[in-house]
Amino acid sequence: STQIQLVARPVGTPTSENFRTVSVELPELGPDEVRVRNEFLSVDPYMRGRMNDAKSYIPPFGLNETMTGAAVGHVIDSTSDALPVGTAVLHSYGWRDVAQGPAAHFSALPETALSLSVFLGAAGMTGLTAYVGLKRIAGLAEGESVFISGAAGAVGTIAGQVARKLGASRVIGSAGSAEKVAVLKEKYGFDEAFNYKDAPVRQQLRTLTPEGIDVYFDNVGGDHLEAALDRLNTSGRVALCGAISQYNSTERSPGPDNLSNLVTRSLRLEGFTVGQHQDLQGEFAEQMTGWLQEGSIVFDETVVDGIDHALDAFFDMMNGANTGKMLVRI
Ligand code: NDP
pLDDT of residue 243: 98
The residues of the chain scoring below 50 in pLDDT are none
Of all protein residues, the one whose alpha carbon is nearest to atom 4 of ligand 1 is: 153
Q: Which of ligand 1's atoms lies nearest the C-alpha of 129?
A: 42
Residue 110: helix, strand or coil by DSSP? Answer: coil
Among 219, 223, 224, 284, the mutation site with the greatest number of ligand 1 atoms within 8 A of its Cβ is 219
Distance 39 CA to ligand 1 centre (A): 23
pLDDT of residue 229: 98
Q: Do domains 2-118+300-329 and 125-275 have the same CATH topology?
A: no
Among 126, 180, 244, 248, the mutation site with the greatest number of ligand 1 atoms within 8 A of its Cβ is 244
pLDDT in tens, 41-79: 999 999 999 999 999 999 999 999 999 999 999 999 999
CA angle 145, 149, 154 (to 5 degrees): 110
Q: Which of ligand 1's atoms lies nearest the C-alpha of 275?
A: 40
Of all protein residues, the one whose alpha carbon is nearest to atom 9 of ligand 1 is: 320
What is the DSSP code (8-state) at residue 33?
E
Q: Which of ligand 1's atoms lies nearest the C-alpha of 196?
A: 20
Long-range contacts of 10-15 (CB under 8 A, 24+ apart): 10/51, 10/52, 11/250, 12/248, 12/249, 12/250, 13/248, 13/318, 14/48, 14/51, 14/248, 14/314, 14/315
pLDDT of residue 53: 96
Distance 80 CA to ligand 1 centre (A): 37
pLDDT of residue 59: 95
170 phi and psi angles, rounded to 5 deg: -150, 130
Of all protein residues, the one whose alpha carbon is nearest to atom 1 of ligand 1 is: 153
Distance 243 CA to ligand 1 centre (A): 7
pLDDT of residue 291: 97
ipTM above 0.95, yes or no: yes
Of all protein residues, the one whose alpha carbon is nearest to atom 2 of ligand 1 is: 153
Distance 29 CA to ligand 1 centre (A): 38
CATH superfamily name and code, 125-275: NAD(P)-binding Rossmann-like Domain (3.40.50.720)
Largest CA distance in the chain: 64
pLDDT of residue 117: 98
Q: Which of ligand 1's atoms lies nearest the C-alpha of 326?
A: 2
In the chain, where are the structural domains located?
A: 2-118+300-329, 125-275
Distance 284 CA to ligand 1 centre (A): 21
pLDDT of residue 224: 98
Of all protein residues, the one whose alpha carbon is nearest to atom 3 of ligand 1 is: 153
pLDDT in tens, 6-29: 999 999 999 999 999 999 999 999
Of all protein residues, the one whose alpha carbon is nearest to atom 15 of ligand 1 is: 245
Q: Which residues, including other chains, have CB under 8 Å from residue 140's CB and lie 6 or more apart?
A: 134, 146, 163, 166, 167, 168, 214, 215
Instruction: Give the CATH architecture of domain 2-118+300-329.
Output: Alpha-Beta Complex (3.90)
pLDDT of residue 320: 98
Of all protein residues, the one whose alpha carbon is nearest to atom 8 of ligand 1 is: 320
Of all protein residues, the one whose alpha carbon is nearest to atom 10 of ligand 1 is: 320
Pocket of ligand 1 (CB under 6 A): 44-46, 126, 129, 150, 152-156, 175-177, 180, 219-220, 241-242, 244-245, 272-274, 317-318, 320, 322, 326
